[in-house]
């Protein structure tokens, strides 16, 4: 799996089955463009079926809210995850996010 | 919970998601720990209203949200201090700071009220995000029920490594061990100052995403998309939200 799929920099599917379709779906959910979302939804259904759309919607719905809980309560990254994810966070620029600075500040 | 939610949706919504959403809406419309049901439903309505707020749009576009003063476009049912919390969490969560949190407390909110607002606001955002993502149409907010908030603060909750006080792993003891003990991640104890909100939110998470046991099981396909596909959607959303957690 190409971890840059998370940042939107991976070419194609990033080593994940239908990765490009799912990444576009996630972006469209996050975006405000209804036509883009409708097209992304249909692409998921066409490639993986309606059950996949429901499950992908559930995941997107979870993380669009859980991110807000983490950011608004100022929880630190779990100690056990700091070292194993250090390279990943640095390479994707996650350590430079304002929310990371706010955690440390 | 038996429900008719999503009966008119264009696609079949899993029965466990239907039940979890019905349960969460019922909880939002019930007396909470620090707010009555009318206030909780008003918080949910204000979370929905935040997207149309001009002050929030101006702040989102600014280099720093703290450089823009003004008044929120609200539904008028909440004090501006509560509206500020709801709107900022809804529209610009990645740039919240501990100083902003402290200012909210100095403006009159208690820590417990703040955490309950976070729980109701984020649950509403989650249900609404699901509706938009799946194309099901947003669920109406239910009418508030009568009753008083319980006003029970867990004695084990204290200031620690988060902005808000929480039940730390070492303090969870027998009462909270299963929910907030050493095996739990920090995100599971983020709302532990108001345990009912923490439990209710993770009932939704366990259904929409994966429960703790499923998260540790990489060999079974628990959903119609596989684990790599699940984490791609999760990671892409979190990256776009600029969430470092």
Q: What is the pLDDT of residues B155-174, one digit of tens each?
A: 999 999 999 999 999 999 99
CB contact under 8 A, A99 and B233: no
Comparing alpha-carbon positions, the chain A residue that sits nearest to B232 is: A6
Q: How confident is the model at residue B1 (pLDDT cuts 50, 70, 90)?
A: low
Contact residues, chain A, for B52 at CB < 8 Å: none
Length of chain B: 245
Tokens of A32: 């405000």
Q: Confirm whether pTM is higher than 0.90.
A: yes
Closest in B126, B166, B224 to A65, CB measured: B126
- Three-class SS state of A3: helix
Give me the mean pLDDT over the B90-117 stretch.
Answer: 97
A91 and chain B: CB distance < 8 Å anywhere? no
pLDDT at A14: 87
Give me the mean pLDDT over the A66-78 stretch.
Answer: 95
pLDDT at A81: 85
* ipTM score assigned to the predicted complex: 0.96
What whole-number distance in Å separates Cα of residue B35 and Cα of residue B18?
A: 26
**CA-closest candidate to residue B230, choices A76, A49, A56:** A56
Comparing alpha-carbon positions, the chain A residue that sits nearest to B15 is: A54
Closest in A14, A15, A75 to B190, CB measured: A75
- Three-class SS state of A4: helix
Q: What is the pLDDT of residues B41-50, one digit of tens each?
A: 999 999 999 9
Q: What is the pLDDT of residues B229-245, one digit of tens each?
A: 999 999 999 999 998 88
Q: Helix B195-208 crosses helix B111-134 at what angle (to 10 degrees)?
A: 20
Q: What is the pLDDT of residues B15-41, one digit of tens each?
A: 999 999 999 999 999 999 999 999 999
């Amino acid at each position: 799996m190409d971890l840059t799929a998370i940042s939107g920099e991976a070419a194609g599917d990033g080593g994940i089955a239908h990765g490009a379709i799912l990444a576009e779906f996630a972006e469209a959910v996050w975006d405000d463009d209804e036509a883009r979302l409708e097209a992304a939804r249909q692409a998921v259904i066409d490639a993986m079926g309606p059950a996949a759309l429901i499950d992908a919607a559930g995941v997107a719905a979870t993380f669009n809210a859980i991110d807000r809980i983490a950011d608004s309560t100022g929880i630190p990254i779990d100690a056990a995850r700091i070292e194993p994810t250090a390279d990943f966070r640095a390479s994707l620029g996650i350590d430079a996010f304002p929310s990371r600075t706010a955690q440390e500040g | 919970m038996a429900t008719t939610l999503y009966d008119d949706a264009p696609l079949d919504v899993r029965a466990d998601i239907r039940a979890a959403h019905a349960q969460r809406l019922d909880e939002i419309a019930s007396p909470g720990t620090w707010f009555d049901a009318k206030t909780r439903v008003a918080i949910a309505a204000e979370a929905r209203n935040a997207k149309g707020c001009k002050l929030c749009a101006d702040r989102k576009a600014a280099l720093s949200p703290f450089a823009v003063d003004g008044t929120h476009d609200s539904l008028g049912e909440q004090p501006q201090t509560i509206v500020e919390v709801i709107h900022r969490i809804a529209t610009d969560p990645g740039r919240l700071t501990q100083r902003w949190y402290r200012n909210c407390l100095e403006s009159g909110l208690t820590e417990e009220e703040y955490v309950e607002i976070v729980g109701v606001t984020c649950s509403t955002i989650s249900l609404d995000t699901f509706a938009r993502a799946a194309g099901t149409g947003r669920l109406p907010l239910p009418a508030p029920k009568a009753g008083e908030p319980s006003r029970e603060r867990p004695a084990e909750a204290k200031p620690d490594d988060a902005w808000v006080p929480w039940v730390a792993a070492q303090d969870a003891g027998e009462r909270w061990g299963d929910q907030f003990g050493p095996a739990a991640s920090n995100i599971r104890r983020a709302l532990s100052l108001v345990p009912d909100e923490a439990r209710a939110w993770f009932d939704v998470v366990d259904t929409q995403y994966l429960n703790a046991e499923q998260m540790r099981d990489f060999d079974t396909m628990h959903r119609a998309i596989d684990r790599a596909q699940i984490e791609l959607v999760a990671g892409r959303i979190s990256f776009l939200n600029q969430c470092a957690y």
